[in-house]
Amino acid sequence: MVKSSSLRTILLSPRGGISAIVLLVVMICAVFAPLIAPYAYDIQSLRDANLNPSWKNWMGTDEFGRDLLSRMIYGARTSLSVALTAISISVAIGMSLGATAAYFGGAFDRLVTAAVDLTWSFPEILIALILIAIIGPGLNSTMIAISIAYLAQFTRLTRVQIMALKSETYVEATRSLGAGHAHIIFRHLLPNALTPVIVAGMLATGDAIILEATLGFFGLGAQPPTPSWGAMMSSGTAQIFIAPWIIIFPGLAIAITVIAINLFGDAVIDVLDIRRQLRDS
Amino acid sequence: MALLSVTDLSVSIGRLKPLDGISFDIGKGEIVGMVGESGSGKSLTAMSVMGLLPLIGGKMTSGSIRFDGIDLATLPEPRYRALRGRRIALISQNPMTSLDPIIRIGAQIDQVGILHLGLSDAAAKARSIDIMRQLRIPEAATVHGNYPHQLSGGMKQRVVIAMALAADPELMIADEPTTALDVTIQAQIIQIVVDLVRERGLSLMLITHDMGVVAQACDKVVVLYAGRVAERNGIDAIFGEPQHPYTRELIRCIPRHDQLRGSLTGIPGAVPSVMDYPSGCRFHPRCADALDICAGAIPALEQKAAGFAACHAAINAAGKVSAHG
């Protein structure tokens, strides 16, 4: 597990520290959006459409005259909540599946491995598009689609870890003291397998933000007027020559957030020295 | 009546038959030594009693294991689970890897009491610290909050013993509890275990390959060779008049201070592999007293003096045996 001394090392390294500050800012925007945003995200004023960035509207306005900065701040809320919820669901289901498959082995293990490898063989975007085609667009479908798209990764990573851990002597020792399967899996095996899965989950959150933005760009994610960075970029394409800031600012936000997540993840991986475990899955 | 009674136990793993007709009893309050070289089936016997054979892909093919009147061979898994740790506890071989590295020592001992005795967290903690003190772990309350990597091997082994004792079992199985430790603390650990077992009137099955440890601690001895019982007897008879040539060889291997330099030898040859056991008596290729019959017929475990031995030579030529003894 992450010790406080490791955490200090991560935060004091240049990339760890800078990326942590960026992520903190994005998270504060997401959590306190109604307090920070200068205007409501959905108030239209067609007279003020496509205004240049100014002191009144720091990032300008969009084609309906809505304040872009306010929409950016609310957009952070959409992007982060969708990505984090989806990845949390994915990690929870993936860990349970991978752990039980590895622990009990046999036909169940082969079934899980085959199913998971099947989804692993398609790009995430394709899986997400197929799922949304089935269950219809919207924020909830986006979450479900993203969580299933990344399921294979966490299942495989957990399975490999548990495979190695289940032959440890302490598992046999715990059984010989009368512990049941659930106790062994949840108290002993999963906690020992947790670190690499958490880090993989963190890195996947970055990918999930891009996937959410992509789906939003296609109009399959958040439905108007709910702001999402991907959908904002999509509406900005029409205005790209008149009001380029509408597409530039959400694009920058996505890029900076994802880069920060990846840099922070890299710093964690280096400090915890788990690069090999992540690669092995 | 014996607390644990193993009769004609045979175990197979795939096509291999590593245990073949093992029988022995452990009475209440008795310490029984289980000796033999590596691969003789000592640990497998322990796994069979604990009902953990499926973990290594093994299966009981015949015989019975009765514990306090309960037939363990047919006991359903949920009831077996309630028995493990509660009435029969195993002290495993390697203390270095028998503890979960990311859970505090104390919590690992506590959970046995919580699981089996239904104690509250606080009561389980008090009880664990008390047991740790009895095992002479210094500053037990501090160690209770430590992680396994902060302890020495000897301390870890005491913690493993504390886990086994935590639910007050009636039978303890100690599988080579000191093999992984420094020689200087081996005797100390054995002595602590034996004292506690005697004090509480527990029964102990002590698995070891060290005849010195057996002489120090046990009431009775079961000598295993290549998956069969070679000899079974009380401690005095085993050392006083060993019947089986293998037992004599084992005793000869105990180093003594008045021995001539260079005269310490092992038993010639090696333990046969389970893939390729010799016919007849499995010890005959290494036996100095082997007769013609030994290669052909399996010797039965027959009553001999106060104990039992499975040896053609011992049965046929009693005079010759006593001359050796």
Mean pLDDT of A71-90: 92
How would residue B178 be classed by pLDDT, with cut points 50, 70 and 90?
A: confident
A201, A188 contact by CB (below 8 A): no
Q: Residue A139 in contact with residue A230, Cβ under 8 Å?
A: no
pTM of the model: 0.78
* Chain B nearest CA to A102, separation (Å): 14
Residue B320 pLDDT grade (very low, low, confident, very high; cuts 50, 70, 90): very low
Higher-confidence residue: A275 or B147? B147
Nearest CA in chain B to A191: B102
In this predicted structure, the answer to whether residue B321 has a pLDDT above a threshold of 70 is no
Confidence of residue B94 (pLDDT cuts 50, 70, 90): confident
The secondary element (H helix, E strand) that includes residue B211 is helix B211-217
B293 CA to centre of own chain: 31
Nearest 5°: the CA angle A280, A11, A13 is: 80
More confident site: B113 or B210? B113
pLDDT value for B324: 41
- pLDDT above 70: percentage of residues in chain A: 98
pLDDT at A42 over 90: no
* Shortest alpha-carbon distance between residue B164 and chain A (Å): 7
Give which of B190, B306, B160 is closest to B242, Cα–Cα. Answer: B306
Residues with Cβ within 8 Å of A260's Cβ and at least 6 positions away in sequence, in order, are: A18, A19, A22, A23, A26
Q: Between residues 155 and 194 of chain A, which touch chain B (CB distance below 8 Å)?
A: 168-170, 172-180, 183, 187-188, 191-192
- The pLDDT score that the predictor gives to residue A2 is 53
**Residues sharing a CB contact under 8 Å with residue A253, sequence separation 6 or more, in sequence order:** A26, A72, A75, A76, A229
pLDDT in tens, A141-158: 999 999 999 999 999 999
Question: Which of A7-16, A171-180, B21-30 comes out lowest in average pLDDT?
Answer: A7-16
Residue of A nearest to B110 (CA): A177
In this structure, the number of other CB atoms found within 10 A of the CB of residue A123 comes to 9
| Segment B175-187 mean pLDDT | 82
The predicted-structure confidence for B263-302, as pLDDT tens digits, reads as follows: 677 787 777 888 888 888 888 888 888 888 888 888 888 8
Whole-number pLDDT of residue B141? 92
Residue type, B272: P
Long-range contacts of B134-139 (CB under 8 A, 24+ apart): B134/B196, B135/B161, B135/B162, B135/B165, B135/B192, B135/B196, B136/B192, B137/B162
Whether the per-residue pLDDT at B323 is higher than 60: the answer is no
Residues of B near A (Cβ–Cβ under 8 Å) read 50, 52, 55, 81-86, 89-90, 92-94, 97-103, 111-112, 115-116, 160, 163-164, 166-167
Is residue A168 within 8 A of residue B94, CB to CB? The reply is: no
ipTM of the complex: 0.77
Cα A139 to Cα A145: distance, rounded to the nearest angstrom:
10
Q: pLDDT of A222-259, one tens digit each? A: 888 888 898 888 888 888 888 888 888 899 999 999 99
Per DSSP, helices labelled H in A67-189 are 68-104, 106-120, 124-135, 139-149, 151-165, 169-176, 181-183
Given a cut of 90, is residue B212 above it in pLDDT?
Answer: no
Which of A56-70, A76-90, A115-129 shows the lowest mean pLDDT across its residues?
A56-70
| Lowest-pLDDT range of B53-67, B204-218, B308-322 | B308-322
Whether B318 has a pLDDT exceeding 80, the answer reads no
Distances B315 to A252, B121, B304, B309 between C-alpha atoms, Å: 92, 58, 7, 8
Given a contact cutoff of 8 angstroms between Cβ atoms, the answer to whether A220 and A142 are in contact is yes
What mean pLDDT is predicted for residues B71-88?
91
Residue with tokens 């514990």: B67
Could you tell me which of A73, A56, A75 has the C-alpha nearest to residue A65? Answer: A56
Nearest to B217 by CA among B30, B92, B17, B4: B30
Cis amide leading into B177 (omega within 30): no
> Which of A177, A186, A194, A195 to mutate against chain B (most B CBs within 10 Å)?
A177
Rounded-to-integer distance, Cα A3 and Cα B88, Å: 37
CB-CB neighbors (< 8 A) of A191 in chain B: 102-103
**Per-residue confidence at B33, pLDDT binned at 50, 70, 90?**
very high
* Predicted pLDDT of residue A3: 60
Q: Determine, for residues A187 and B111 on separate chains, whether the beta-carbon distance falls below 8 Å.
A: yes
Helix, strand, or coil (residue B179): coil
For a pLDDT cut of 70, what percent of chain B falls above it? 96
Tell me which residue of A199, A203, A100 sits closest to A155, measured CA to CA.
A100
pLDDT of residue A270: 85
- Is A255 an 8 Å CB contact of chain B? no
Q: Considering only CB atoms, which chain B residues are within 8 Å of A103? A: none
- What distance in Å separates the CA atoms of residue A183 and residue A144, rounded to the nearest whole number? 29
Question: For residue B199, with 0-12 CB atoms within 10 Å meaning exposed, 13-18 middle and 19 or more buried, which class applies?
Answer: exposed
Partner B contacted by A14 (CB < 8 A): no
The residue-averaged pLDDT of B104-117 equals 92
* pLDDT digit string, tens, across residues B134-171: 998 999 999 999 999 999 888 999 999 999 999 999 99
pLDDT tens digits along A97-138: 999 999 998 899 999 999 999 988 888 899 999 999 999 888
